[in-house]
Structure 1
């Protein structure tokens, strides 16, 4: 019964995201599944929903995430001709995006490290 409750919670949050998506579709078009994830994040972050309430089902879904990529893989195989025609463009985009992500991640980590060092220095000054 515990598993059904956890599935029900996740499906309820997803359905809530779909409802919100339909309500705001004239303002901004965000998929309901994305809004559901944001709602779930907020519920967990503000301790409205305990992690224990969804842990078993979430662990199962995360452990078997590869299954959810099968339809995308099949679709890629069906589009192999299109991919071959645009291989140079696709590879260029992939390389450029990866470089951009690496640089952005590095800069973000540097910023957070400096922020943490400033916070530690400030707390050491207050202690002294």
Structure 2
């Protein structure tokens, strides 16, 4: 029974995301599943729903996430001709995006390290 309650909570949050998506589709197009994840995040963050109320089903879904990528893989196989035609463009995009992500992550880590060092020196100065 516990598992059914957890599935019900997750499906209810997903349905709420779909409902919100239908109401705002004329303003901005955001998929209901994405809005559902945002709603779930907010509910967990503000402790409206405790993590224990969805833990078992969430762990199962995360543990078997690979199954959800099978349809996308099949679609890629069906589009091999299109991929071959645009291989250079796709590889260029992948390489450039990876470089941008590495630079962005590095800069973010540098920023956070400097911020932490400033905080530590400030706390040391207050103690002294």
What's the TM-score, normalizing by structure 1?
A: 0.96
2:108 maps to which residue?
108
Q: Which runs of no fewer than 5 residues in structure 1 stay unpaired?
A: none
Secondary structure in 2 aligned to 1:21?
helix
2:118 maps to which residue?
118
Secondary structure in 2 aligned to 1:92?
helix
Q: How does 1:26-65 map to 2 (within 5 A)?
A: 26-65=26-65
Q: CA deviation at 1:125?
A: 2.1
Q: CA deviation at 1:108?
A: 1.0
Q: CA deviation at 1:91?
A: 0.5
1:79 aligns with 2:79: yes
Q: CA deviation at 1:47?
A: 1.2
Q: CA deviation at 1:69?
A: 0.4
Runs of 4+ in 1 over 3 A off after TM superposition: none
RMSD of aligned C-alpha atoms? 0.9
User: For this pair of structures, how many residues does the alignment match?
Assistant: 128
What's the TM-score, normalizing by structure 2?
A: 0.96
* Alignment deviations for residues 51-110 of structure 1 (CA, whole Å, 9 cap, x no partner): 101110110000000000000000000000110111111000011111111111111111
More deviation, 113-122/7-16: 113-122
Residues of 2 paired with 1:34 and 1:57: CA distance?
A: 18
Residues of 2 paired with 1:61 and 1:49: CA distance?
A: 18
Q: CA deviation at 1:4?
A: 0.5
Residues of 1 paired with 2:12 and 2:67: CA distance?
A: 22
